[in-house]
Amino acid sequence: MGPTQQRVVRGGRLVKTARGVVNLAAVVGFGMAGGAAAQGLDCISPPVGGPADSEICDLGTLAGGTNSIAWGVSADGSVVVGVRYSSAGDRAFRWVAGAGMENLSTLTGGGHSYADGVNADGSVVVGQSSSSAGNRAFRWVAGAGMENLGTLTGGSRSFARGVNADGSVVVGQSGSSAGNRAFRWVAGAGMESLGTLTGGSSSWAHRVNADGSVVVGWSGSSAGDRAFRWVAGAGMEDLGTLTGGNWSEAHGVNADGSVVVGRSGSSAGNRAFRWVAGAGMESLGTLTGGSYSRAHGVNADGSVVVGRSGSSAGDRAFRWVAGAGMESLGTLTGGSSSWAWGVNADGSVVVGTSGSSAGDRAFIWRATDSGGEMEDHENLITSFPVLGNDSAVMQAEQQFALGALMRPGALAQAGGWSVSAQLGAQSTGRNPTTVGARTTSLAALSFGRGITDSFTLGATISAQGSSLQNNAFSMDTGFAGAIWGTYSAGGADQTGLQASGSLGYARNSGDISRGRLLTDVVLATGQSAVETRAVQASLGYGMMQGDWLVTPSLGVAHYDTTRAAYTETGAAFNASYDAMTTSRTVATLGVAGDMKLGEQGRLSLGAGVEHDLSVTAPRLTGTSDIPGLATFDIGSTFQTNKTRGFLTAGYTHDFGNGQSLSGTVRVGQAVYGSTPSVGVGLNYGMRF
């Protein structure tokens, strides 16, 4: 029973897989839209039908409906290879973390290509391409391009399936004058036929060990199709079958070539096997209630095997550990089946495909002290730009709250005091597709000392905080403070030149959780603080126009905001983040009008526009233990509203004894999103 090459697109969705990559430090499989950088994952814990102390994550599908499948991954998980389907023809791709997807093109005269394997450092890719001479095995080298490996003598086609750690040895199948044969190609020496087992008419090489000296696959023989192990200098060895079986196939080999895994017929049915040099072939059995199993990958020392098994719950990805046996890795949410294709060097990370409520998805699973963690890989990667966007919203909210706090208090008479207590809140509804709802509140106490009748110096202190729905930040109520000065040429009448300036500081601390609202992504949480420092200045001119005091003004404010560095805990895949710093310089042009209403009332109306003169957008940088995302540098994808209009209305009641009570309403555009922000404030003031 010969192997068939697996390239599957089901229901228009990418089935993203990482296949039997052996001797590599980390194994992942995922698809990206052409040229896109890594996105992020969705996890559930535990997996449906999986161990109670484990987790499964959905690796997602390609954006924009472009179908592609990943077949191989480099040792550290930073380079992925496979095929991308397009109207221009199927193309082998090489995806590099932080750089995106690269089209490897075709051999001369070719119309399609497929990449099946990649070496340890990701610099060498192997596969097959059409060419003017027919389908040919290729070897692509970074900086040199694609090389035709030719065929065995008399052959019309060839296919490459595996490559060793340094990229110098390639294995696969080629036609020849003697029939289809497994081949081994060595840089500088060319392609050699590995022959067949006795009586066989064809053979196929699937994988090669780290130094290229051991090749495994299947061959026909006088006894039927058999798994083989070919050793340089010794030739091809029949690995036999399990008891009662009449066929077998080898699909993986460990680093030193001493352990081979695959599938075999047996008296009990088709079974995954593990063959060990000097000990022979053993059945790995099935999951409870299963009727079959098959192995596809093995770790570096041969102690961990992964594949697929039937079970009473359906087909499931499995991980078998020497001395412990086989366990189901479960499925993603809504899935009915799963399949493991590859495992990393130490056996702790497994990748494959799982059904889910969103269709077939690539998954990544990691063993932990308490069991294992399976997550949706695409959603896991997506969690990072989502966190970057959440960071941008949090920082903008803190900047707004500090800006409101820095507005100067009331003028006091020379040698006198002005004191006010303030309550305020701004609420912004959820943007339909992007920015979540948020509310920022503050309670403040302000003191001012009259230096002259026209000039007052003061300070404001407050407790303030933001409630961010569907956002990574859950911050405690924080402290903010400002010192300010205000000048009015007309004193309490507020006519003539008006000027003010202030310095402010705000700080909030709390939990930051990555992975919120992403299916099949386990929350990773850390603690950090967000701080903003700001300076603000304004000039205006007050003049009477009938019953109205009209004051046009121009102000400029600058904000520097920093989220401190922190490290996550609590998930199978965690990250450490560098400090994130952003800045914003804003100009505000406005006009305000005040009119007396009777002896004690005063109506205030205002309108204006804010414009960002300069913005340093936040960038999420740091390191993680996620295969393929060892380091990251991700900018926010949210677009700022650089120019924002606003309207204000207020009423002040003067009690006639130096005390007053005022209320204000502000409606305006938010920095992020299309939903308007509505703010309300209440101020009780005294002068004495």
The amino acid sitting at 64 is G
- Reading the block at residue 305, the tokens are 């095997």
Mean pLDDT, residues 305-323: 96
SS3 (DSSP) at 549: strand
Q: Which SS3 state, helix, strand or coil, does residue 556 take?
A: strand
Predicted confidence band of residue 10 (pLDDT cuts 50, 70, 90): very low
Residue 60: pLDDT band (50, 70, 90) is: very low
B/e letters for 124-157, b = 16+ CB within 10 Å, e = fewer, are bbbbbbbbeeebbbbbbeeeeebbbbbbbeebeb
**Could you tell me if 44 and 61 are in contact, meaning their C-beta atoms sit under 8 angstroms apart?**
no
Of 351, 306, 308, 307, the closest CA to residue 77 belongs to: 351
Q: What mean pLDDT comes out for the span 637-660?
A: 93
Burial code of 338-374, b = ≥16 C-beta within 10 A, e = fewer?
bbbbbbbbebbbbbbbbbbebbbbbbbbbbeeebbbb
In tens, the pLDDT along 36-52 reads 223 333 444 545 454 44
**Band of residue 424 on the pLDDT scale cut at 50, 70, 90:** very high
The residue-averaged pLDDT of 566-588 equals 94
DSSP 672: B
Helices (H), 97-252: none
Of 301, 403, 278, which Cα lies nearest the Cα of 666?
Answer: 403
Q: What is the pLDDT of residue 67?
A: 52
Residue boundaries of the structural domains of the chain: 39-194, 379-687
Q: Which residues contact residue 603 at a Cβ distance below 8 angstroms, ignoring those fewer than 6 apart?
A: 594, 595, 596, 597, 649, 650, 651
Is residue 275 left, alpha or beta, with left meaning phi > 0 and alpha meaning psi from -120 to 50?
beta
Helix ranges restricted to H, 360-494: 377-405
Q: In this predicted structure, what is the pLDDT of residue 56? A: 39
Exposure string (b/e) for 595-614, b if CB count within 10 Å is 16 or more? eeeeeeebebebebebeeee
CA distances from 62 to 116, 242, 498 (A): 19, 40, 57
Q: Find how far residue 528's CA is from the centre of its chain.
A: 20
pLDDT at res. 283 = 98
Q: Is 309 in contact with 272 (CB distance < 8 Å)?
A: yes
- In this structure, the number of other CB atoms found within 10 A of the CB of residue 523 comes to 17
Residue-wise pLDDT tens digits, 578-603: 999 999 999 999 999 999 998 899 99
Strand ranges, E, within 546-676: 548-563, 566-567, 575-577, 580-597, 601-616, 619-624, 631-635, 643-654, 659-668
Task: Look up residue 638 and give its DSSP letter.
Answer: P
Is there a contact between 556 and 547 (Cβ–Cβ < 8 Å)? no
- The answer to whether the beta carbons of residues 181 and 173 sit under 8 Å apart is yes
For 446, other C-beta atoms within 10 Å of its C-beta total 23
Q: Which two tokens stand for residue 392?
A: 């941008």
What integer pLDDT is reported at residue 57 of this predicted model? 34
Whole-number Å distance between alpha carbons of 127 and 388: 37
Question: Distance (Å, rounded) from C-alpha 139 to C-alpha 301?
Answer: 27
What strand order describes the sheet that includes 169-174?
158-163, 169-174, 181-186, 190-193
Contacting residues for 349 by C-beta, under 8 A, at least 6 apart: 26, 27, 28, 343, 364, 365, 366, 367, 627
- Provide the 3-class DSSP secondary structure of residue 574: coil
Low-confidence winner among 68-72, 144-148, 679-683 (lowest mean pLDDT): 68-72
pLDDT digits (tens, 9 = 90+) for 467-488: 887 788 988 899 999 999 999 9
**How high is the pLDDT of residue 21?**
28
Q: What's the pLDDT tens digit per position in 228-245?
A: 999 999 999 999 999 999
Instruction: Render 58-76 in DSSP notation, one character per residue.
Output: E----GGG--EEEEEE-TB
Angle at 290 between CA 284 and CA 295, to 5 degrees: 40
Nearest to 268 by CA among 291, 240, 241: 291
φ, ψ for residue 356, nearest 5 deg = -155, 175
pLDDT reading at 605 higher than 90: yes
Phi, psi of 162 (to 5 degrees): -140, 160
8 Å CB contact between 516 and 470: yes
Query: How many angstroms separate the Cα of 76 from the Cα of each of 47, 383, 567, 624?
Result: 25, 20, 21, 12
Copy the structure tokens of residue 662: 């005022």
Whole-number Å distance between alpha carbons of 303 and 309: 18
Instruction: Kindly report, residue by residue over 107-124, the tens digit of the pLDDT.
Output: 999 999 998 888 988 899
31: closest CA among 6, 9, 4? Answer: 9
Rounded to whole angstroms, what are the CA distances from 640 to 232, 302, 505, 610, 614? 62, 53, 23, 12, 11
- With a cut of 90, say whether residue 402 has pLDDT above it: yes
Token pair of 22, please?
A: 């052996």
Q: How far apart are CA 475 and CA 579, in angstroms?
A: 17
Neighbours of 201 (CB within 10 A): 12
The size of the chain, in residues, is: 688
CATH code matching the domain that covers 379-687, chosen among 3.50.50.60, 3.40.350.10, 2.30.110.10, 2.40.128.130: 2.40.128.130
Residue 5 pLDDT more than 60?
no
Mean pLDDT of the chain: 86
Judge whether 372 and 343 are in contact, CB under 8 Å: no
Q: Which two tokens stand for residue 11?
A: 């229901």
| Residue whose tokens read 């597709």 | 433
Q: Are strands 304-309 and 293-298 parallel, antiparallel or unpaired?
A: antiparallel
Tokens of 352: 């494959």
Q: What superfamily in CATH does domain 39-194 come from?
A: TolB, C-terminal domain (2.120.10.30)
Question: Ranked by mean pLDDT, which of 96-110, 353-367, 553-567 comes out on top?
Answer: 553-567
Average pLDDT over residues 558-576: 94
Greater confidence (368 vs 456) lies with 456
pTM of the predicted structure, to 2 decimals: 0.71
CA distance 534 to 131: 63
Half-sphere exposure (CA, 13 Å, Cβ side) for 377?
33
Region 176-197: mean pLDDT is 97
Interatomic CA distance for residues 56 and 60, integer angstroms: 12
Rounded Cα–Cα distance for residues 237 and 344 (Å): 26
The CA distance from 243 to 262, in Å, is 15
At which residue do the structure tokens 């961990």 appear? 304
pLDDT of 543 over the 70 cut: yes
| Weakest mean pLDDT among 11-20, 116-125, 257-266, 298-307 | 11-20
Cα–Cα distance for residue pair 651/659, rounded to 1 Å: 14
